[in-house]
Amino acid sequence: MDSEPLQLRRLGRRPYVPVWEAMRAHTAARGSETPDALWLVEHEPVYTLGRNAATEHLLDAGEIPVVAVDRGGQITYHGPGQVLAYVLLDLRRRGWAVRGLVEALEQGVIDLLAEHEVVGARRPGAPGVYVDGAKVAALGLRVRRGCTYHGLALNVDMDLAPFARINPCGFVGLPVTQLSALGVRLDAEAAASSLARHLRRRLDRPTFRGAAAPAGTEIPTMEADPR
């Protein structure tokens, strides 16, 4: 079925919790005519613990806040220089499968990388995008009543040191990279614009078909174990 184009919201730099609460409220209040949306944001430094997170994977939070959230998966880090693309969609209305949506999000990042002659790849059983085995984009969704929130995090030009204070994805030694280290010279604002363009091109296509997601579905999130 055809759907209206995604509404784009640029939120700038915000603390994590108010944006998370806004996503939950938006999803809870959705009606059959609520437009689908793509929210772009950078967060202040924060570690987030998924519903399956083991505390031993938080090695040394230091001064960085830790927030337990309502997604699956383990622990990850968000901070300035990382672009978050939160995807608030009604899967049932679009007739999409969850797996198709995950693949569309990953493909949007792969397309962005290809535009800069960088080869991005998927990893079986570990949602996200990798370059030479290092994770450049992490992906996680929560589905309630057939509607998604959360989304993906693209490392652009950030301080990667906080990742060394956790076991990213609950996996010791998982390498993490970013656009700047791959020779892609974009600041966060330009990267957000490019990411939005590629994601909208993928998400505005009614090509990802399949059964509607069951209520309460959790997709292995930004910390899916790559093993």
Single-letter code of the amino acid located at 65: P
Which of 169, 179, 199, 213 does the annotation list as catalytic? 169
User: 205: which DSSP letter?
Assistant: S
Question: What's the N-to-C CA distance of the chain in angstroms?
Answer: 37
Burial of 17 (0-12, 13-18, 19+ CB in 10 A): middle
Is 147 noted as a catalytic residue in this protein?
no
Using alpha carbons, select from 98, 167, 94 the residue that is nearest to residue 127. Answer: 98
Strands 134-144 and 128-131: antiparallel
Distance CA 198, CA 223 (A): 23
Could you tell me if 34 and 90 are in contact, meaning their C-beta atoms sit under 8 angstroms apart?
yes
Instruction: Find, among 161, 138, 148, 141, the residue nearest to 64 by Cα.
Output: 161
**Which residue numbers are catalytic?**
169
